[in-house]
Amino acid sequence: MSAVCEVQPSTTVTAVEALEVNVAMAKQDNDFRELLSELTLEEKVRLLSGESFTAAAGVKRLNIPPIKVADSTSGVRPSQHDSDMTTACFPNTTCLASTWDVDALEDLGEKLAKQAKMKSAQVVLGPNINMHRDPRGGRNFEAFSEDPLLAGHLAGAVVRGVQRHGVGSCPKHFVCNDSEYMRHYYDVAQSVDGRPLREIYLAAWSHLLRVSDPVSIMMAYNMVDGTYCSAQNDLIERILRKSWGYKGLVMSDWFGTRSTVEAVKAGLDLEMPFPVHRGPKLINAIKSGELTEAEIDERVMKHLELRNRTRESHADADAEEYSEIDEATNQTARKLAEGGIILLKNENATLPLDAGASTRLAVIGEFARDAVVTGGGSASCNPQYRIPPVEALKDVLSDPSRVSFSAGVKTRRVIPLAPASLLQTADGHAGVEIKYINDSSPDSPILVERREKPSVWMMGEFPKGLTVPGSRIELKTNFTCPSTGTHTLAVRRSGAFQLYVSGKEILTGSQPDVTTEQFIFNHILLESRVQMDMQEGAVYEIKLVVQSRDKMTIGEPTPYAASLCFEEFYDEEQAVIEATEAARTADTSIVFAGRDGQYESEGYDLGEIALPANQVALVRAVAAVSKRTILVLHCGNPIDVSAVVDDVDAIICAHFPGQEGSRALAAILTGKVNPSGRTATTWWKTLKDAPSFGDFPAQKDEEGNLTLKYQEGLQVGYRHPNKDRVQWPFGYGLSYTTFEYSDLKVSVSGAGSAATLDCSVTLINSGSRAGHEVVQVFVTPAEETSVWRPEQELRMFTKVFLSPGESKTVSLKDVLRVACSYWDETEKQWRMEEGSYGVCVGGLHSTFSVSEGELWDGL
Ligand code: BGC
């Protein structure tokens, strides 16, 4: 056995160091303050809104450039919203969270800062610390966990890394934006009392602010207790600024400002992305005395301070946007994927595969060919490359010829765009001809253009002279059919439409009843499909006419879109038969299944969490004939695997693992890397088992208001008392080695607010492979607690690497009162009760005493 050594956990020690870095940023010279006196009222007001989707305004006269902002932590997106430019693509946030690795996330932050500078952005719009309240949450894939401490500490690590070199970070969305459906409108009405809000949803933020000092924070769209977050004085001024001492800038989410005067008074500094409620309306409010110039100055100072704190990144502001492939960045991406991928089941010695052996492998599933890298929405990005997982696997096997591939069933949600190679304009160019025609002059289009992609996608900005509403788009092409069969033609559009094939109207539809949000993100709502018998080689003249739509509400730009889509006939039964043929002759089958960014995205929630029925059929058919079956799941949210869990031998959760994900997965499958990911959120057996099942998404109350009631209160995820409903618990994940814990010691040191809870435990790698273990410290409440409290709560964690036979003593500590208190709703303060508390680590238990109770507030 190797020598025992002390591990200094990054989760607590670096918190202090991190704050020093952030304070150092704030200590830059104070010249910027003088700018305030040089600004006219109009210029001040200008600085309080955005000037584009990706920039807060500047003032040319004083050489104050705009502040460029960019989404987000899976990859820094280019400043042109519709740009195809690629970027380094990291794993999605649930994968990051499953690493439980503070140092790795800080490293990610540094790489994001580098990417931001390459794109001349001053602020990265993330990380996202929405909570995983319900497994249908559309954006859960881009948020960390159901546990506030894990989410806050990991998000804080990203913030520190991003800000180390002068780029700012903007954690989002403050607070309770844990569902996407109608996020602009719903009200999160607190259930029971304020404890869930404080102990879970706000707690994620207080943990984050304990370990980092982000230059800005983004408010949530929704309301909490009847007031929009972006206009809620209680949240911004009382809690964030006064109680927690937050000094940075507070911005709205995009089109998330809902008032002029109220929002300024509540402390909202910046309206993004355009002046909808500010601009002239704000000037009028000042002129009419509803707001004073002093109130405006306070908000402008926050803007100037942010500018000062991100000064270093302004130096690169004129850099051309570029996307360089850089090995150090890729190593970070790969390490995060390797650390976050979770081995959920491993029976019959199925994994790891022996890379040198002559085992025959049947790799099945579209996702094994078309790598899934990110989820959907603003957290998605265009990766620099995609490596098909099947190819990554072949690369690490001594005999790649023993790998067969079969695509299996379709995994897509919407019909893909018709490929340009099948389309030709009347004058012989690849693609389509598009006419933009005002209703007032139907015979004289205001613009005619050709495009390769059969798609027009506009948001508020239209060709000059086009009347909206009051116009139409005509898209024309000659389509050469690739095969004989009953194929699918589909249209995605913003308004009423007619689709003609060879002069005959074959499909019509009305204006889709969608919000701008749904238009941007949930494309299935814009789609209409029709099946048609077509002949190979025949040319069909296609015309799609889409009318402009009505204007949108809440100041958002009006969409205008028309896309022509096509999918060749395929026989699902035959696809399953082909896959099972491949499986039958192999030693091991690896089936890729789950969801991609078409299912899990910003802008909408999942309707269910079970695997799609066609994927279940595929997995079961393959498992029935395979000697051994490994199921690789791509997902952000947990999947209900009840229909297949007993059929397969091994299950891996591969998340949306970024551009290095396929290599990371191949390394884990073949044992080059020992899996060390641990679930950051409970996997319930079925959707009905989730405590929030009946209260998701928002529903209309008696008065017709969209309301989300957090009825499960504190019983979110592992805090729920019923463990029978759990498929895989929080903090779970298998390894190719074994770890044993011993010698747990717990004590309290120091006094008052400086008192700490100190734990140490010895850990040995008792197996035959090197690997990482995640040490998780849970605290159980005082024996005589006067209120209901969860059986145990995560209070500290760290990740440790051990060679076979190696042993380490891990020491962790945190502030005692943070580890022990609950929110006392009567006193409106935190209460630490005196008494005997418990600590559980890796199956060991110990106790400690708090001799004096305390009421406290703050961070
Ligand atoms: C999202 C934000 C994002 C912003 C800018 C909004 O729709 O909610 O998280 O940062 O768009 O893209």
DSSP line for 208-243: HHHH---SEEEEPSSEETTEEGGG-HIIIIIIIIII
CA distance 351 to 87: 33
pLDDT range class, residue 33, cuts 50, 70, 90 = confident
For residue 358, the model assigns a pLDDT of 83
For residue 314, the model assigns a pLDDT of 76
Task: Please check the confidence at residue 317 and state whether its pLDDT lies above 60.
Answer: no
Ligand 1 within 6 A of CB of 254: yes
CATH number of residue 828's parent domain? 2.60.40.10
- The runs of H, that is alpha helices, within 342-438 are 366-369, 389-395
Q: What is the 3-state secondary structure (H, E, C) of 29-55?
A: CCHHHHHHHHCCHHHHHHHCEEEECCE
More confident of the two residues 528 and 27: 528
For residue 82, the model assigns a pLDDT of 64
| 784 part of a folded domain | yes
User: For the stretch 287-304, what's the b/e string if a residue is b when 16 or more beta carbons lie within 10 angstroms of its beta carbon?
Assistant: eeeebeeebbeebbbbbb
Asked if 406 and 482 sit in the same domain, the reply is no
Ligand 1 atom closest to the CA of 126, numbered from 1: 10
Mean pLDDT computed over 593-615: 97
CA distance 436 to 448: 6
Asked if 611 and 640 sit in the same domain, the reply is yes
More confident of the two residues 241 and 355: 241
Ligand 1 atom closest to the CA of 81, numbered from 1: 12
Asked if 440 and 563 sit in the same domain, the reply is yes
Contact of 745 with 762, CB cutoff 8 Å: no
The CA-CA-CA angle for residues 268, 270, 273, to 5°, reads 130
| 714 part of a folded domain | no
Asked if 165 and 277 sit in the same domain, the reply is yes
CA distance 67 to 237: 24
Q: Among 165-179, 191-205, 403-417, where is mean pLDDT lowest?
A: 191-205
For residue 7, the model assigns a pLDDT of 36
| 187 part of a folded domain | yes
Mean pLDDT computed over 13-28: 40
For residue 356, the model assigns a pLDDT of 82
Q: 676 CA to middle of ligand 1, Å?
A: 31
Q: What does the pLDDT look like over 121-169, one tens digit per residue?
A: 999 999 999 999 999 999 999 999 999 999 999 999 999 999 998 999 9
For residue 129, the model assigns a pLDDT of 98
Of the residues 315, 341, 365, the one at which a domain ends: 315
Q: Is 596 a catalytic residue?
A: no
585: its two tokens: 């002759």
Q: 707 CA to middle of ligand 1, Å?
A: 22
Ligand 1 within 6 A of CB of 129: no
Task: Please check the confidence at residue 728 and state whether its pLDDT lies above 70.
Answer: yes
Q: 711 CA to middle of ligand 1, Å?
A: 27
Closest CA to 466 of 502, 505, 436: 436
CB neighbours of residue 691 within 10 Å: 23
CATH number of residue 132's parent domain? 3.20.20.300
Closest CA to 221 of 583, 579, 708: 708
Mean pLDDT computed over 14-20: 39
Task: Please check the confidence at residue 827 and state whether its pLDDT lies above 90.
Answer: yes
Asked if 40 and 70 sit in the same domain, the reply is yes
Task: Please check the confidence at residue 27 and state whether its pLDDT lies above 70.
Answer: no
| 639 part of a folded domain | yes
Give residue 781's Cα distance to chain centre: 32
Task: Please check the confidence at residue 76 and state whether its pLDDT lies above 80.
Answer: yes
For residue 2, the model assigns a pLDDT of 33
Asked if 203 and 69 sit in the same domain, the reply is yes
Closest CA to 306 of 214, 369, 238, 220: 214
Asked if 337 and 460 sit in the same domain, the reply is no
Asked if 347 and 286 sit in the same domain, the reply is no
Asked if 362 and 252 sit in the same domain, the reply is no
Mean pLDDT computed over 507-516: 93
Task: Please check the confidence at residue 671 and state whether its pLDDT lies above 80.
Answer: yes
Contact of 827 with 791, CB cutoff 8 Å: no
* DSSP per-residue letters across 302-329: HHHHHHHHTHHHHTTTTSPP-----HHH
Summary mean pLDDT of the chain: 93
pLDDT range class, residue 84, cuts 50, 70, 90 = confident
Report the residue count for the chain.
859
Which of 93, 254, 459, when mutated, tests ligand 1's pocket best, judged by the most ligand atoms within 8 Å of its CB?
254
| 673 part of a folded domain | yes
CA distance 444 to 423: 25
Ligand 1 within 6 A of CB of 253: yes
Q: Among 10-24, 106-120, 278-292, 740-754, where is mean pLDDT lowest?
A: 10-24
More confident of the two residues 135 and 519: 135
| 533 part of a folded domain | yes
Mean pLDDT computed over 374-390: 96
Ligand 1 within 6 A of CB of 230: no
The CA-CA-CA angle for residues 549, 551, 554, to 5°, reads 145
Asked if 525 and 454 sit in the same domain, the reply is yes
CATH number of residue 614's parent domain? 3.40.50.1700
Q: 47 CA to middle of ligand 1, Å?
A: 20
pLDDT range class, residue 313, cuts 50, 70, 90 = confident
| 476 part of a folded domain | yes
Tokens 């397969």 identify what position? 648
> Which residues are CB-neighbours of 417 under 8 A, at least 6 positions away?
453, 454, 455, 563, 564, 565, 566
Asked if 537 and 581 sit in the same domain, the reply is no
Q: What is this structure's pTM?
A: 0.94
For residue 22, the model assigns a pLDDT of 42
The phi, psi pair for 627, rounded to 5°, reads -70, -45
Query: What is the percentage of the chain residues whose pLDDT exceeds 90?
Result: 89
C-alpha gyration radius of the chain: 28
Residue type, 315: A
Mean pLDDT computed over 771-799: 96
| 483 part of a folded domain | yes
Q: Whose CA is nearest to atom 4 of ligand 1?
A: 254
Domain that holds residue 634: 327-413+572-686+719-728
CATH number of residue 455's parent domain? 2.60.120.260
pLDDT range class, residue 556, cuts 50, 70, 90 = confident
Give residue 601's Cα distance to chain centre: 8
Please name the helix (run of DSSP H) or strand (run of DSSP E) that holds residue 280, with its range, or none.
helix 280-287
pLDDT range class, residue 18, cuts 50, 70, 90 = very low
Tokens 């069933």 identify what position? 409
Task: Please check the confidence at residue 5 and state whether its pLDDT lies above 90.
Answer: no
Asked if 511 and 609 sit in the same domain, the reply is no
For residue 527, the model assigns a pLDDT of 98
Mean pLDDT computed over 764-790: 96
Of the residues 282, 315, 348, the one at which a domain ends: 315
User: For the stretch 464-492, what's the b/e string if a residue is b when 16 or more beta carbons lie within 10 angstroms of its beta carbon?
Assistant: eebebeebbbbbbbbbebeeebebebbbb
Count of structural domains within the chain: 4
For residue 857, the model assigns a pLDDT of 95
